[in-house]
A = this chain, B = another copy of it.
Amino acid sequence: MNNMVLPKPLRGIIPPMITPLLDRDNLDIPGLERLVEHILAGGVHGLFVLGTTGEAPSLSYKLRYDLIERVSKQIAGRVPILVGITDTSHIESVRIAEFSQKQGVSAVVLAPPYYFPAGQPELFEYLENLVPMLPLPLFLYNMPSCTKMIFEPQTVMKASQLPGVVGLKDSSGSMVYFNTLLSLLEDRKDFSLLVGPEELLAETLLMGGYGGICGGANIFPRLYVDLYDAAVAGDLARTRDLHKKVMWISTTIYSTGRYNSSFLKGVKSALNLMGICSDFIESPFHCFREQEKRKIRTYLQQFSY
Tell me the A residues contacting B by CB distance below 8 Å.
24-25, 52, 57-61, 63, 88-92, 95, 112-119, 122-123, 125-126, 129-130, 145-148, 173-176, 179-180, 182-184, 186, 197, 199-200, 202-203, 206-208, 234, 236, 240, 243-244, 247-248, 250-251, 258-261, 282-286
Which residues from chain B contact A258 at a C-beta distance below 8 Å?
Answer: 119
A116-B261, A122-B285, A180-B250 are known; give 18 further A-B pairs, CB within 8 A.
A25-B91, A52-B115, A57-B113, A58-B90, A59-B91, A60-B92, A61-B89, A90-B283, A90-B284, A115-B147, A119-B259, A125-B283, A129-B283, A175-B175, A180-B199, A180-B247, A180-B251, A186-B244
In the complex, what's the smallest C-beta–C-beta distance from A188 to chain B, in angstroms? 15
In the complex, what's the smallest C-beta–C-beta distance from A238 to chain B, in angstroms? 12
A117 touches B130 (CB 8 A): no
Cβ-closest 10 pairs across A and B: A57-B88, A203-B203, A57-B115, A60-B91, A183-B247, A126-B284, A119-B259, A90-B283, A176-B199, A118-B284
13 examples of A-B residue contacts, CB within 8 angstroms? A58-B89, A112-B284, A115-B146, A117-B145, A118-B259, A122-B285, A175-B200, A176-B199, A179-B247, A183-B244, A206-B236, A207-B243, A236-B236
Residue of B nearest to A55 (CB): B116
